[in-house]
Structure 1
């Protein structure tokens, strides 16, 4: 299934539906109506959406600063959607990954909160055709998601549901028993981070957006492009699974200190003869045995090797995607007007990839940087130098954006 990608001009875009025109310019969204509707206050709606966007952006900045920085590479009209998707992931993570005094308390309140989010998602799915239909939405995240849907941006509700179900499964299974193996950890990544990547792909290839994603959409609408569509999905899937693995490594000490939960797969711990209790004692500073530290490093190495394998697979498929696009363009009939436009646009692209196809893959960059730092410090997750934010992200993101690499 294609998780589409369609974007607009980097500084502005315009979207219309049923006499209502939205324009986004320099991070501001305005609503203009060609005809007033009875009982509908345009200013109230615009204020709600702007407030929701501010709250979601601040939330992403606080809890996911890497994504907040990478949002600058998206056109201004897609940033609210990006903030909404990331904010949704943050809220679900708070529910399933958050600590509580007892498991029963955590599971009980977690189920209630997840039910709330499922209800909000279903209301987004049942939206009418005008902005007045968001009255039943009670959270900034769901308001911003609904606003994106009303503008015609591709938001697959099924992917949002999948994220909820994955977090619910984790709440009742892995949070209690731990990950049995690396595959279960990757499965969590597929149901969470990969879904967010698919959602951004889909939003980036929205047919209603012009001036940014014309080449990407026009190319994928060509016959016999299933291979390219599959490559798009595969790259996002690999990146999502690598991100999930690294997020659990990054949060290893946090989970131990807050809830006594070890997020390393059980089979890896068994392989290296280190128990969960030993891991907890090491990370909480109660034990400093050199032998145990080396065993933990070996376990971390095995886990992060899988994450690195996913990154390598994503890079390989990205190269295949570039080659597939080049081959497709070379075989287009120049006598066709639309094909001629695609050919002309392709020759002006950076490294053979349009922004609309590449930018959703940039979420791999923070993961790559963390893996590099972890290797530099000998896979010692307790190293104080790993606790600092990655100062190279802005420069690496800029370089990768120019070179079209991850």
Structure 2
């Protein structure tokens, strides 16, 4: 019902009849008064992907996690570029890979929180891709029971984190290909790559133990790293 509500909001707002709801009214202003050409399908993709995984079920494959990240995180990057009136294949490629990296890293970051035992252990969940878990002999119930000591967990996390890092590497190469266009205002939409990169670096330093408590602490370097990235136009 929640997701259908947002579908209706998008459809009515694009038709020029926004519901009397704050987000809808703001979106209507941007679309019909400011004439920002947001692609409607990006909003619908986000809603559909969120709906598919509302119950916190595991991703069947690493490719499925990547597809989810593309539909959600990458779509929001595309919309951010459109908000700045950028329509560029090269910039879209950068956005796509950053979104995939961020979405994959978010699943890793959330693993100790979702799988945490305790009074709500009946609702504990492990979203790590089933195919990667099976390949490394990891049983998802062991993650809930044993946390970071679950056999096969580190190897599983390593493989997933490697995919995320590969996307960041590709995004950096695509940014170079974009040339001056990627160094202008469009670059600000790519700054979420900074916390993703920092998290993956910290994860490697603790030998891919997602339950290491240091990973749950606030990254004090983030403001400085984001500033440097923005000045140098590199992430």
Q: TM-score w.r.t. structure 2 length? A: 0.90
User: What SS does the corresponding residue of 1:153 show, helix, strand or coil?
Assistant: coil
The C-alpha deviation readout for 1:6-62, integer Å capped at 9, x for no partner, is xxxxxxxxxxxxxxxxxxxxxxxxxxxxxxxxxxxxxxxxxxxxxxxxxxxxxxxxx
1:231, CA displacement in angstroms? 1.3
**Structure 1 position 278 matched with structure 2 position 135:** no
**Structure 1 position 193 matched with structure 2 position 100:** no
The match for 2:53 is 170
The C-alpha deviation readout for 1:343-364, integer Å capped at 9, x for no partner, is xxxxxxxxx821x221111121
**Structure 1 position 388 matched with structure 2 position 217:** yes
The match for 1:268 is 132
Return the alpha-carbon distance in structure 2 between the equivalents of residues 153 and 243 of structure 1: 26
**Which structure 1 residue ranges, 5 or more long, are not aligned?**
1-111, 128-132, 206-216, 221-228, 327-351
Return the alpha-carbon distance in structure 2 between the equivalents of residues 370 and 179 of structure 1: 21
The match for 2:194 is 365
Question: How many residues end up aligned between the 2 structures?
Answer: 229
**Structure 1 position 404 matched with structure 2 position 218:** no
1:169, CA displacement in angstroms? 2.2
Return the alpha-carbon distance in structure 1 between the equivalents of residues 183 and 212 of structure 2: 38
The match for 1:182 is 62
Return the alpha-carbon distance in structure 2 between the equivalents of residues 370 and 233 of structure 1: 23
Q: Quick one: which of 28, 31, 43 aligns to 1:146? A: 28
- Answer yes or no: is the 8 Å Cα contact 1:181–1:266 preserved in 2: yes
1:119, CA displacement in angstroms? 0.9
Return the alpha-carbon distance in structure 2 between the equivalents of residues 147 and 282 of structure 1: 51
Return the alpha-carbon distance in structure 2 between the equivalents of residues 153 and 392 of structure 1: 34
User: What SS does the corresponding residue of 2:37 show, helix, strand or coil?
Assistant: coil
Q: Which has the higher helix share?
A: 2
Return the alpha-carbon distance in structure 2 between the equivalents of residues 253 and 142 of structure 1: 35
Q: Quick one: which of 15, 22, 40 aligns to 1:126? A: 15
- Max Rg structure: 1
Cα RMSD over matched residues?
1.9
Return the alpha-carbon distance in structure 2 between the equivalents of residues 362 and 274 of structure 1: 34
Q: TM-score w.r.t. structure 1 length? A: 0.54
Alignment of 1:304-315 (within 5 A): 304-315=161-172
Return the alpha-carbon distance in structure 2 between the equivalents of residues 147 and 404 of structure 1: 31
User: What SS does the corresponding residue of 1:179 show, helix, strand or coil?
Assistant: coil
Return the alpha-carbon distance in structure 1 between the equivalents of residues 218 and 2 of structure 2: 30
User: What SS does the corresponding residue of 1:171 show, helix, strand or coil?
Assistant: coil
Alignment of 1:3-402 (within 5 A): 112-127=1-16, 134=18, 136-138=19-21, 140-149=22-31, 150-171=33-54, 175-176=56-57, 178-205=58-85, 229-257=88-116, 259-283=123-147, 289=149, 292=150, 295-322=152-179, 325=180, 353-354=183-184, 356-402=185-231
- Answer yes or no: is the 8 Å Cα contact 1:123–1:137 preserved in 2: no
